[in-house]
């Protein structure tokens, strides 16, 4: 739209940057006094209301600006003006007041129509002295009506922007502006198509858009183009307003929460301080003046949580980080997490997570920054091995082979440590500067040789890792596996940490939980390292055979995680998921315990050196009970050695008839029961004496009170009243000579040896074999082999009258039922073959085997007896069961000579056999069975 009177030239008025005037909009700008006077003269000289050209000024154009976008002075000087402007009417000109003459004039302009300046533009040297020089202008004509879709998009964008501005005003509680925006929205929705472009000028002038977008919109002459650019500006401004509102709201909420939490915490600290002061005053009034129990700090408690304690804790963490070796991985991680901690507000959850991590990280004894001089001094002691032997002898009785192996182990540890210390000392001596005398002429001049570079020194000065074997103590419960590990720690003067692996089914229990999980923490290995406080402690991995078999499930395999821990080639950089920094475990002495080897994986077993602890003999148990267990129970129950005297017969009765185990735990419990019984008797006796004294003191006369006299001696006949009926007495009575019953030797699930009867009976049937007792596949095959051998030699044993007859079908068909008692226990293995043969021979011939004879051994179809394992456990179990004669394979003679204690061999008779004929002769006696000399045709299968 053009002005009614459109003069070809208008007085030029540059608008200060970044102001832009649009048609149908108003603007107020300050002008200088000279410019104000010139404008007054212009108004007075004009016949009507004059028009002026309000043209925006530009900053110096950047490189690559399109030609024609801006027009400069022909001379290249002055202020850059925009090509497009707006013809405006002067609405108001306000002069400065007399009280403030230095204030500028205020000029209010109202846009009328778009104009374009004719080139070349005059130079505008200063905005403080605008003289309103006339300059030719062009009034562009509007071409047609805008398209309908452009009008709709303009209205949609405008409504969205006005709604957004109304919401922003609502947050600021400006009700007047909100009402203005609501009216503008209603007007926008009702505006016609021919007036839409004019309304667009008003809205664009109203919003606070970007300067470049406004200049682009000012140059739009076509109504459709103008509406498109207006819609673009509105959409952009609405998006910016939405994002800004979200950011402002988030920042406001965060600041409000932090400020509120800080305020509440300060109030809580103040309240606690007042309560503590009140409590101290009340306590101080109740006590006598000068009480020695009053503390120097005015009664403050270490549980008081204040800013001082918090600052001390943070300072302690910082000191530990600074004490780490420069350049080490743990120091880099600690510094990085410390910087994160300082940036996070104290009340946030992430602050607690990072601080907990730093506490774990700084409390670990890192090998790069921790010295082990105390352990080295212990190993350098010349009496180290002698003290180690004394320590083992004081803690354990017997176990001579185990002690000898442990002494070898400790000697190797000592030699490796001392050798490493000598190498380190030589390296340190080389790293120091040396001074030598060099002869120059007739004078000796000292010359100093510099030390090697630090990088070379660091490479040659590495610590020697402990690559010794991982000891694995295998044996039944109660034989002293755990206490042996403790004795090693005492001998080395190192901290001892025990990790129970029983029931551990999650790999994270070993490697730690990752920090992304809630309540995450390091694994058991790193926790033990933290508690020990030294990188060279003794770590006992207890019950390693009871680690839950994850086998790659959702929780992983903890047994596989132990492979890295127990491998000397890998544990120098153990990776804990929580710490996430390589942890050096090469200086840790790992000792494992187990009851059985069956459930331990082969790779894990390959990393360990197995040391068998089979159990104790009766003599060893008596010695342990008298010198270790009884004094321990006396101390635990408040008695002295003079209060109880256990006879040797009583101890033997407890060890043989009330307990029958490889270890001494049940024996200790039985002795504890005896001590507690005598403690009650002693207490009753003392109470009765006190009552007698009190009555005598009141009456002055002697009063006879019947009280039970205390007897400190405990004999064998007293045990039944204390411990009850003997557990193994009935078993001893049942062991009598019976047809078809033979006693074999077994190793039970916990590694304990014992005896197991093999029972057979004949029932009517068709010549079959029935097996019961929860038997495995191997032991079933042994029973079938035994029956086949007996059938083949039935004629030679005078069971049948002809070699071709089946002893189970002639004269009457029968079935043989073979049973092994204790059906609740799974039984398997080939070592019961010789006992099954003897039981079947006893059943068919009627001969019996004495109950004090037990046997073990595997048999073949050819009648050979082959060696088996677990001889020591079986022999000790038979000794505990009062067996006097044992039949063993000839191949196990070396096991008896090397493993079985001498006192056991002196009390028992061992017969070694190579064939079943020899075994039958030893079991039934030389004349116990009748043999035919001509046994018929012997047919054997040979490979």
pLDDT tens profile 749-791:
666 778 889 999 999 988 889 999 888 899 999 999 999 999 9
Query: Which regions of 45-104 does DSSP assign to beta strands (E)?
Result: 51-58, 70-71, 80-82, 84-94
The token duo for 372 is 């082990």
Q: Check 25, 367, 375, 831 and give the catalytic one.
A: 831
* Lookup result for tokens 């209060």: 643
Question: For the residues 659-674, what does the mean pLDDT come to?
Answer: 87
Q: What is the pairing mode between strands 909-913 and 885-889?
A: parallel
3-state secondary structure of 110: strand
The token duo for 745 is 């030797």
pTM: 0.60
Residue 153 has pLDDT above 60, yes or no: yes
What pLDDT does residue 68 have?
A: 35
The band of 425, judged by pLDDT with boundaries at 50, 70 and 90, is: confident
The band of 375, judged by pLDDT with boundaries at 50, 70 and 90, is: low
Task: Of 576, 682, 579, 601, give the one whose Cα is nearest residue 637.
Answer: 682
Question: For the residues 434-459, what does the mean pLDDT come to?
Answer: 55
- What is the C-alpha to C-alpha distance for residues 30 and 130, in angstroms, rounded to an integer? 12
What pLDDT does residue 503 have?
A: 79
- What is the C-alpha to C-alpha distance for residues 93 and 43, in angstroms, rounded to an integer? 11
The band of 162, judged by pLDDT with boundaries at 50, 70 and 90, is: confident
User: Burial, 832: exposed, middle or buried (Cβ in 10 Å; 0-12, 13-18, 19+)?
Assistant: buried
What pLDDT does residue 342 have?
A: 87
Give the single-character DSSP code of 752.
Answer: -
- What is the C-alpha to C-alpha distance for residues 91 and 658, in angstroms, rounded to an integer? 119
Residue 520 has pLDDT above 90, yes or no: no
The band of 707, judged by pLDDT with boundaries at 50, 70 and 90, is: low
More confident site: 552 or 381: 381
* Lookup result for tokens 């191997």: 778
Tell me whether residue 293 is one of the annotated catalytic residues. Answer: no
Least confident interval from 220-224, 292-296, 541-545, 707-711:
292-296
- What is the C-alpha to C-alpha distance for residues 833 and 787, in angstroms, rounded to an integer? 10
Query: CB atoms < 10 A from the CB of 634, how many?
Result: 20
Residue 460 has pLDDT above 50, yes or no: no
- Give percent of the chain with pLDDT exceeding 90: 14
C-alpha dihedral, 808 to 814 to 818 to 821, nearest 10°: -160
Q: Name the packing angle between helices 307-323 and 349-363 (round to 10°).
A: 50
Q: What is the pairing mode between strands 134-138 and 105-117?
A: antiparallel
- What is the C-alpha to C-alpha distance for residues 787 and 769, in angstroms, rounded to an integer? 8
What pLDDT does residue 128 have?
A: 58
C-alpha dihedral, 672 to 678 to 681 to 685, nearest 10°: -130
Tell me whether residue 905 is one of the annotated catalytic residues. Answer: no
Task: Of 376, 359, 363, 358, give the one whose Cα is nearest residue 587.
Answer: 376
Residue 870 has pLDDT above 50, yes or no: yes
Q: How far lies 366's CA from each of 323, 573, 585, 628, in Å?
A: 10, 12, 10, 39
Question: For the residues 590-609, what does the mean pLDDT come to?
Answer: 87
The band of 506, judged by pLDDT with boundaries at 50, 70 and 90, is: confident
More confident site: 79 or 670: 670
Contact 792, 844 (CB under 8 A): no
Max Cα–Cα distance, the chain, nearest Å: 161
Residue 834 has pLDDT above 90, yes or no: yes
What pLDDT does residue 203 have?
A: 85
Spell out a b/e string for 705-729, using b for 16 or more CB atoms within 10 Å of the CB, else e: eeeeeeeeebebebbeebbeebeee
Q: Check 24, 874, 882, 921 and give the catalytic one.
A: 874
What pLDDT does residue 274 have?
A: 77
Residue 61 has pLDDT above 50, yes or no: no
Beta-bridged to residue 85, according to DSSP, are 115
Question: For the residues 261-289, what does the mean pLDDT come to?
Answer: 69
Q: How confident is the model over 103-126, as pLDDT tens digits?
A: 888 888 888 888 888 887 666 665
């Amino acid at each position: 739209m053009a002005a009614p009177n459109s003069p070809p030239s208008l007085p030029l008025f540059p608008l200060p940057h970044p102001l832009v005037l649009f048609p149908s909009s108003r603007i107020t700008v300050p002008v200088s006094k000279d410019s104000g006077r010139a404008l007054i003269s212009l108004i007075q000289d004009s016949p009507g209301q004059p028009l002026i050209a309000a043209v925006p000024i530009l900053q110096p154009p950047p490189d690559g600006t399109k030609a024609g976008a801006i027009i400069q002075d022909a001379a290249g000087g002055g202020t850059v003006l925009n090509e497009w402007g707006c013809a405006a009417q002067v609405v108001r000109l306000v002069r400065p007041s007399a009280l403030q003459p230095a204030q500028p004039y205020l000029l209010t302009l109202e846009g009328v129509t778009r104009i374009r300046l004719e080139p070349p533009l005059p130079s505008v040297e200063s905005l403080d002295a605008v003289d309103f020089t006339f300059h030719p202008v062009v009034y562009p004509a509007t071409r047609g009506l805008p398209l309908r879709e452009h009008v709709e998009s303009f209205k949609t964008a405008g409504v969205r922007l006005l709604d957004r501005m109304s919401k922003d005003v609502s947050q600021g509680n400006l009700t007047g502006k909100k009402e203005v925006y609501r009216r503008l929205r209603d007007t926008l929705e009702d505006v016609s198509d021919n007036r839409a472009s004019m309304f667009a000028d008003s809205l664009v002038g109203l919003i606070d858009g970007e300067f470049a977008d406004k200049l682009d919109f000012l140059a739009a002459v076509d109504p459709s183009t103008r509406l498109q650019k207006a819609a673009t500006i509105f959409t952009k401004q609405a998006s910016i307003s939405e994002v800004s509102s979200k950011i402002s709201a988030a920042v406001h909420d965060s600041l409000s929460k932090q400020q509120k939490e800080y305020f509440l915490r300060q109030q809580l600290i103040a309240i606690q301080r007042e309560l503590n002061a009140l409590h101290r005053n009340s306590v101080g009034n109740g006590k006598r003046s000068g009480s020695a129990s009053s503390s120097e700090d005015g009664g403050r408690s270490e549980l008081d949580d204040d800013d001082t304690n918090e600052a001390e804790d943070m300072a302690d963490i910082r000191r530990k980080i600074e004490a780490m070796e420069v350049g080490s991985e743990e120091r880099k991680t600690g510094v990085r997490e410390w910087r994160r901690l300082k940036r996070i507000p104290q009340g946030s959850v992430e602050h607690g997570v990072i601080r907990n991590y730093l506490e774990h990280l700084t409390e670990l004894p890192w090998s790069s920054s921790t010295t082990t001089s105390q352990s080295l001094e212990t190993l350098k002691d010349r009496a180290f091995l002698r003290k180690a032997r004394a320590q083992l002898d004081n803690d354990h009785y017997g176990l001579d082979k185990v002690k000898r192996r442990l002494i070898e182990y400790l000697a190797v540890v000592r030699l490796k440590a001392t050798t490493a210390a000598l190498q380190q000392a030589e390296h340190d001596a080389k790293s120091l500067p040396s001074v030598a005398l060099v002869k120059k002429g007739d004078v000796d001049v000292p010359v100093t040789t510099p030390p090697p570079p630090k990088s070379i020194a660091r490479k040659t000065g590495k610590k020697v890792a402990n690559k010794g074997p991982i000891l694995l103590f295998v044996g039944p419960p109660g034989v002293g596996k755990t206490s042996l590990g403790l004795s090693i720690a005492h001998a080395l003067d190192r901290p001892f940490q025990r990790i129970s692996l029983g029931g551990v089914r999650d790999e994270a229990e070993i490697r730690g939980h990752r920090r992304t999980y809630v309540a995450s923490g390091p694994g058991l290995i790193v926790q033990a390292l933290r508690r020990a406080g030294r990188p060279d402690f003794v770590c006992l991995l207890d019950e390693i055979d009871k680690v839950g078999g994850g086998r790659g499930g959702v929780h992983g395999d903890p047994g596989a995680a132990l492979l890295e821990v127990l491998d000397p080639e890998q544990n120098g950089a153990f990776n804990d998921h929580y710490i996430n920094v390589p942890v050096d475990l090469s200086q840790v002495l790992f000792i494992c315990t187990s009851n059985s080897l069956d459930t331990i994986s082969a790779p894990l077993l390959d990393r360990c050196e197995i040391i068998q602890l089979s159990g104790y003999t009766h003599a060893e148990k008596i010695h342990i009970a008298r010198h270790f267990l009884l004094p321990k129970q006396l101390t635990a129950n408040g008695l002295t050695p003079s209060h109880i005297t256990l006879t040797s017969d009583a101890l033997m009765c407890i060890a043989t008839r009330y307990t029958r185990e490889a270890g001494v735990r049940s024996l200790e419990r039985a002795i504890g029961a005896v001590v507690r019984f005598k403690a009650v008797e002693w207490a009753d006796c003392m109470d009765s004496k006190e009552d007698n004294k009190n009555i005598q003191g009141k009456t002055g006369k002697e009063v006879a009170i019947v009280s039970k006299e205390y007897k400190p001696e405990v004999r064998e006949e007293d045990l039944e009243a204390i411990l009850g009926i003997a557990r193994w007495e009935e078993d001893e009575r049942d062991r009598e000579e019976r047809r078809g019953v033979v006693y074999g030797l077994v190793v039970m699930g916990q590694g304990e040896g014992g005896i197991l009867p093999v029972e057979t009976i004949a029932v009517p049937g068709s010549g079959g074999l029935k097996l019961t007792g929860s038997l495995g596949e191997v032991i079933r095959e042994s029973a079938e082999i035994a029956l086949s051998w007996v059938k083949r030699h039935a004629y030679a044993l005078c069971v049948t009258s002809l070699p071709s007859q089946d002893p189970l079908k002639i004269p009457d068909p029968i079935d043989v039922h073979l049973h092994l008692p204790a059906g609740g226990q799974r039984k398997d293995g080939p070592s019961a073959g010789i006992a099954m043969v003897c039981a079947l021979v006893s059943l068919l011939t009627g001969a019996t085997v004495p109950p004090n004879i037990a046997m073990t051994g595997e048999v073949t179809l050819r009648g050979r007896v082959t060696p088996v394992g677990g001889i020591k456990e079986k022999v000790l179990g038979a000794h505990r069961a009062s067996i006097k004669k044992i039949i063993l394979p000839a191949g196990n003679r070396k096991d008896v000579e090397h493993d079985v204690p001498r006192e056991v061999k002196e009390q028992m008779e061992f017969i070694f056999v190579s064939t079943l004929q020899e075994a039958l002769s030893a079991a039934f006696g030389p004349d116990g069975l009748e043999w035919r000399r001509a046994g018929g045709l012997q047919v054997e299968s040979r490979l």
